[in-house]
Amino acid sequence: MARFFKNAFSDYLITPEDSRITPESLLLDLRLPWYRSLPLSVVMPTQLVLDGEPLSLDGATVSYEGREYTLAELPEQVGTSWFIQDSVVLKVPTPKPLAAGKHHVLLTLNLYPPYIPMLTHVTRGDAQVQAA
């Protein structure tokens, strides 16, 4: 699981320098792993591993263009396109504050490209993120 797989369109799924850790949550800056803007309705974070241990995505949200969506709300967002040159921020609550220093984050993200019906494209990326 620790193996870092570069997704096809970007070396980064998580941009380390733009991600951070607060006492309450991980704030991960995500780059779209596709070559065209996609509606948020076809984007879904599915799995997160923090320092080798699974971290639940319960309560996680995705923020884009000043709005914050729960993961359950994402499939409804057919009118909001994630533009290629923008990041979205995935916020994942942590049960307790993380120790200062770097933490390893491994994220799996599913895309369902809407012009290729039936395709589920699974990508994964990792980053070392600094906790203050």
Partner 1 sequence: MTASQTSAAAKGFKLGSTLYSFTNEWHERRYGFEDLIAEVARRNLGPGLEIIGFSSIRGFPNVSDDFAARFKDLMAKYQLTPSCLSINADMAIRRGTMMSVDEAVAYHAPQIEAAAKMGFPVVRCQFAAPVEVIIRLLPLLEKHGIKIGPEVHAPLNPSSPPVMAWREAYAKANSPLLGFVPDFGCCAHTLPATYIANLRRQELPEDLIQLALEVWQLPRDAGWKRQEFARRVEPLNADPADVSALAVMFNILSPGTADMWKEIMPQVVHVHGKFYDFDEQGNEASIDYGSILPVFHDGGFTGFMSSEWEGHLYMRGVDAFDMVAQHQALARRIIAKHTGAAG
Question: Which residues are at the interface with partner 1 (CB under 8 A)?
Answer: 3, 5-11, 31, 35-39, 41-42, 75, 78, 81, 83-85, 108, 112, 114-124
Q: Which is nearer to partner 1, 24 or 67 (CB)?
A: 67
Q: Kindly state the smallest distance separating residue 127's Cβ from partner 1, in Å.
A: 16
Q: Which is nearer to partner 1, 96 or 118 (CB)?
A: 118
Two tokens at 42? Answer: 């076809």
Q: Kindly state the smallest distance separating residue 124's Cβ from partner 1, in Å.
A: 4
Two tokens at 18? Answer: 């733009």
Q: Which is nearer to partner 1, 3 or 96 (CB)?
A: 3
Contact 130, 27 (CB under 8 A): no
Q: Is 75 exposed, middle or buried (0-12, 13-18, 19+ CB in 10 A)?
A: middle
Please give the sequence-ordered ranges of beta strands (E in DSSP) within 60-100, or none if there are none.
61-64, 67-70, 81-82, 87-93
Q: Kindly state the smallest distance separating residue 109's Cβ from partner 1, in Å.
A: 9
Q: Which is nearer to partner 1, 94 or 108 (CB)?
A: 108
Q: What are phi and psi of 74, to 5 degrees?
A: -55, -45
Q: Kindly state the smallest distance separating residue 105's Cβ from partner 1, in Å.
A: 15
